[in-house]
Structure formats: C-alpha cells, structure tokens
Amino acid sequence: MIKKIKLIGITGKMGTGKSLFSSFFKKKGIPVYSSDKRGKILMNQIKIIKKNIIKSFGQESYKKKK
C-alpha cells in the first residue's frame, strides 16, 4: 500500500491561531515547516536581504531576532 502525503498550508492574520494549530500537529508527531522561522533565519544570515529591508523600509524596520 502506498502512503499518500498531504501538504496543508496554514494561513491567516496575526493572532488567528496559526501557531496554536501548528503546535497541535507537532504534538501528534506531524512535521511542521514554519516559514516565519525560516524567514527570520534568512534575514539574519544573508546580508543582501537585511540591506534591502533597511533600504525599502528604513533602519527601524530591521531588528535582529533570534
């Protein structure tokens, strides 16, 4: 029997429960990819991304997050 893999996207505005819903999947052992976490990693590691954020939105728009 072949297992079917399903890809589910969770979208919504801030405060709508995306992280809560994702944590439900994680607790069930279902892999979760967080584009927010990946975006933060990229912003902090790739200098051209940081430069373009500051160029487009000003110095105050970029604050390094862990």
**Domain-embedded: residue 14:** no
Mean pLDDT, all residues of the chain: 88
Rounded distance between C-alpha atoms, residue 63 and residue 66, angstroms: 10
Quote the tokens at residue 30. 């279902």
CA dihedral 47, 48, 53, 59 (to 10 degrees): 50
**Domain-embedded: residue 56:** yes
Average pLDDT over residues 12-41: 91
Instruction: Please give the C-alpha separations between residue 6 and each of 3, 12, 13, 31, in angstroms, as whole numbers.
Output: 10, 20, 23, 11
Its domain, for residue 35, covers 31-66
Asked whether the beta carbons of 43 and 50 are under 8 A apart, the reply is yes
pLDDT of 32: 93
**Domain-embedded: residue 7:** no
Task: Specify the number of domains making up the chain.
Answer: 1
